[in-house]
Amino acid sequence: MKALIISADHFEDTELLFPFYRLQEEGWEVDIASIAKGKINGKHGYEVSVNRALRDINPNEYDALILPGGKAPATLRKERAAIEIAQDFFRRNKLVAAICHGPQILVTADVLTGRRATCYRSVAEELKESGALYEDSEVVVDGNLVTSRQPSDLPAFMREVVSQLGKASQ
Amino acid sequence: MKALIISADHFEDTELLFPFYRLQEEGWEVDIASIAKGKINGKHGYEVSVNRALRDINPNEYDALILPGGKAPATLRKERAAIEIAQDFFRRNKLVAAICHGPQILVTADVLTGRRATCYRSVAEELKESGALYEDSEVVVDGNLVTSRQPSDLPAFMREVVSQLGKASQ
């Protein structure tokens, strides 16, 4: 099984690193994609290796898409490749897990109409405007979509991500 | 089930936060103890709430002890309460998981004689001098003791911690 994390500079460090380590713990392969290969740096200074450029991603290679928060999603929502990757995962009903500001990418991708979801509180208004049914909960699961609000939700977020991936692989 | 994390200022942020979130994901209760109640700050600036003072800890309340790295263990090894807590876990053969500089506390506690273990490379010499059988591996499990070298070992570290705790609770 293989997951794709999409991020950029100023990511929220634990929201990228916790899923990155957690899925490896499960034995998954995890690629990190950004605007270019190389390195990206989190808000707290963690440096992460980017092994794939967004424009080179073939979504068919992956079973799950993870969208961490921080300021990275504000950058990524302007990247056509990032938006098209997110849309492809929704079209194929494959797991998309977004936390904090991560759902901003899904707002731009216009895939949230009628979907139950959550996000960081400052993102809630644009989530609702995009047609999502916003809930203020530590984790919301609606079909292929798993969303959470903030770093302290990471235990619930990854509990559901791992649970959903277990069901998908059966 | 209930785990105790012992740390102090200048902890390695992911080595504290990954186990903290990961055990909560499993449904565990996790206390964080330090020299005093309040807040401690990681090397990367994460602030963590300390809900217990070391001197007030009753080790009988806990099923596992987690020792993250960073510069915190150099502070903690001077704290008699921290050393006595570690010794108590060993006496009762309860799980002790230490990563990076975390094993420095176990060196001072003098509990490693003849035990297979690993640690951050700069700690390896004092680990050997304390009688441990040092191995340069991502994770080493020897009875109740689980050790790892660095943040990139966190997937293997927590895979073994969760596996050992699962066996212990059966």
For the sheet containing A2-6, what is the strand order? A52-53, A29-34, A2-6, A64-67, A95-99, A145-148, A140-142
Whether pLDDT at A168 is above 80: no
In angstroms, the first-to-last Cα distance of chain B is 12
Q: 3-state class of B39 per DSSP? A: strand
Backbone torsions φ then ψ of A8, nearest 5 degrees: -160, 180
Nearest-5° Cα angle at B123, B23 to B100: 20
DSSP states along A101-134: TTHHHHHHHT--TT-EE---GGGHHHHHHTT-EE
ipTM of this complex: 0.94
Whole-number mean pLDDT of chain A? 97
The pLDDT assigned to B167 comes to: 85
Whether pLDDT at A73 is above 80: yes
A42 or B169, which is more confident: A42
pTM of the model: 0.96
Residues of A in contact with B155 (CB under 8 A): 21-22, 24-25
Paired tokens of B153: 């070992």
- Give the number of C-alpha atoms closer than 13 A to the C-alpha of residue A39, restricted to the C-beta side: 6
The pLDDT assigned to B169 comes to: 74
Shortest Cα–Cα distance, A153 to chain B (Å): 9
pLDDT confidence of A62, banded at 50, 70, 90?
very high
* B24-38: average pLDDT: 98
Paired tokens of B169: 């609770």
Mutation for B interface: A10, A21, A163, A164, most B CBs within 10 A: A21
Mutation for B interface: A17, A25, A43, most B CBs within 10 A: A25
The pLDDT assigned to A104 comes to: 98
The pLDDT assigned to A169 comes to: 74
| Cα B52 to Cα B54: distance, rounded to the nearest angstrom | 6
DSSP states along chain A: -EEEEE--TTB-HHHHHHHHHHHHHTT-EEEEEESSSEEEEBTT--EEEE-EEGGG--GGG-SEEEE--BSHHHHHTT-HHHHHHHHHHHHTT-EEEEETTTHHHHHHHT--TT-EE---GGGHHHHHHTT-EE--SS-EEETTEEEE-SGGGHHHHHHHHHHHHHHHT-
Digit-coded pLDDT (tens) for B98-153: 999 999 999 999 999 999 999 999 999 999 999 999 999 999 999 999 999 999 99
* B161-165: average pLDDT: 96
Digit-coded pLDDT (tens) for A80-139: 999 999 999 999 999 999 999 999 999 999 999 999 999 999 999 999 999 999 999 999
pLDDT confidence of A167, banded at 50, 70, 90?
confident
Going along chain A from its start, the domains and CATH numbers come out as 2-168 (3.40.50.880)
Q: 3-state class of B42 per DSSP? A: strand
Instruction: Tell me which residues of chain B have a C-beta less than 8 Å from any C-beta of chain A.
Output: 13-14, 17-18, 21-22, 24-25, 44-46, 154-156, 158-159
pLDDT confidence of A36, banded at 50, 70, 90?
very high
* B58-84: average pLDDT: 98
| Cα B99 to Cα B153: distance, rounded to the nearest angstrom | 9
Question: Is the distance from CB of B87 to CB of B111 less than 8 angstroms?
Answer: yes
| Minimum CA–CA partner of B48 in chain A | A152
Whole-number mean pLDDT of chain B? 97
The pLDDT assigned to A83 comes to: 98
Q: 3-state class of B123 per DSSP? A: helix
* B80-106: average pLDDT: 98
